Amino acid sequence: MAQKTVNIALIGQGFMGRTHSNAWTQVSRFFHPNPRPVLHTSFGQPEENPPVFAEKWGWQNISTNWKKTMHDPAIQIVDIVTPNYMHATMAKEAVKAGKIVCCEKPIAGTLKEAREMAEAAKKAHVKTFVWYCYRRCPAVALAHQLVAQGKIGQIRHVRARYLQDWATEAVPLIWRFDKKIAGSGSHGDLCAHIVDMTRFVTGEEITEICGAIVETFVKERTLMSGTAAGGIAAGMQAGKGKGKVTVDDATLFLARFSGGAVASFEAARQATGNQNRNGFEINGTKGALRFDFERMNELEYYDATAPRAVQGWTNIMCTHGGDHPYAAAWWPDAHIIGYEHSFTNMAADILAVVGGGKPVVPLPDFQDAYQTQRVLEAALISAAKKRWIKLASVK
């Protein structure tokens, strides 16, 4: 039986353009997707030098007109990796064109845009996916499965944090510090991941938020000269003059989950000593789970049903092909995988669904990502009004 193919258009370049290109390239080499992806067209602004990007990453065609690309009948999947403020306009156009739409997180720059995207996709009956890639770490997927199996009992506490330290005073005014483009700072960029990840692992929804703090430590930054290669460290060059920072450097808030658990969330870009410390600890009545992305192949599990004399944290190396999600596609036991593999794992799940199959663990679509956006919005309202906010009131 001949293998089917599906043509993909990548809308955007930069950091995520490289990451997604790598995933679409690698997925057929390690998984057995049907359909198999074809890197058909990549879109970039003329100043981004699209021919160089396309040649390096193996895209067959280039485009400097994203709308025309989306309506190209040869394209079946549109993958959007542009800055956040562009997501809604582009995604709604792709939905209008009847394409399968993949979009980077957060789904949009504002809650209104996220709602419009979810409503448009639902009305058009098109498949959508949002790249919350940390769900695809074998350790996080295993945590999701263990909770679903009742291994830790009823959840009482959730603690989640995503800490980075790259946004020092020396970093110039890249687009990630501009609210009009990015939508928000650490909140949308980092809190979005830990909100999605804890919703995914617990299988519960956040119902209330309070105690939110949103802080900007560096109020002005040197204007940038040149491009920023996606806006994280590489390629940044300071120019002359100063500009105002309009997003947050740090966000903290408290929350309640639908099952009764209390929770805390913290995101920061100036937490010195933390390069990409994305993780959680979840405590239940029968056990607990702990994850840290800086040790992404490992999951810690505490079995409170064991005899007290032998209770303690067990470190699980989540690389066994016969037992751990996605591991069979990669290397022998403890031959660890990295950040880019989470995107390849997600590409495999997307293609499985496109082909009529099932993903290894649930994939977030526009409606799912809209729920995460509601939580982010509620936290901002809580910070402004300094009180509890019920998610039911945030639409």
Q: Which residues contact 307 (CB under 8 A, 6 or more apart)?
A: none
Q: What pLDDT is recorded for position 240?
A: 74
SS3 sequence of the chain: CCCCEEEEEEECCHHHHHHHHHHHHHHHHHCCCCCEEEEEEEECCHHHCHHHHHHHHCCCEEECCHHHHHCCCCCCEEEECCCHHHHHHHHHHHHHCCCEEEECCCCCCCHHHHHHHHHHHHHHCCCEEECCHHHHCHHHHHHHHHHHCCCCCCEEEEEEEEECCCCCCCCCCCHHHCHHHHCCCHHHHHHHHHHHHHHHHHCCCEEEEEEEEEECCCCEEEEECCCCCCCCCCCCCEEEEEEECCCCCEEEEEEEECCCCEEEEEEECCCCCCCCEEEEEEEECCEEEEEEHHHCCEEEEEECCCCHHHCCEEEEECCCCCCCCCHHHCCCCCCCCCHHHHHHHHHHHHHHHHCCCCCCCCCCCHHHHHHHHHHHHHHHHHHHHCCCEEHHHCC
Specify whether the CB–CB gap between 245 and 176 falls below 8 A.
Answer: no
The dotted CATH code for 141-332+371-385 is: 3.30.360.10
pLDDT of residue 213: 96
Q: What is the pLDDT of residue 234?
A: 47
> How confident is the model over 208-232, as a mean pLDDT?
81
Give tens-digit pLDDT for 101-115: 999 999 998 999 999
**Residue 205's CB: how many other CB atoms inside 10 A?**
13
pTM of the model: 0.93
The pLDDT of residue 3: 73
pLDDT of the residue at 383:
95
Average pLDDT over residues 368-386: 96
Domain ranges of the chain: 5-133, 141-332+371-385
pLDDT band (50, 70, 90) for residue 163: very high
pLDDT tens readout for residues 225-277: 765 544 454 445 566 789 999 999 999 999 999 999 999 999 999 999 999 99
Q: Percentage of residues in the chain with pLDDT exceeding 70?
A: 96
Q: Give Cα 383 to chain centroid, integer Å.
A: 23
35 in Cβ contact with 5 (< 8 Å): yes
Q: What is the pLDDT of residues 280-297, one digit of tens each?
A: 999 999 999 999 999 999
CATH number of 5-133: 3.40.50.720
Identify the band that residue 224 occupies on the pLDDT scale cut at 50, 70 and 90: confident
Tens of pLDDT along 53-71?
Answer: 999 999 999 999 999 999 9
The pLDDT tens digits of the residues spanning 311-361 come to: 999 999 999 999 999 999 999 999 999 999 999 999 999 999 999 999 999
Rounded CA separation 37/180 (Å): 34
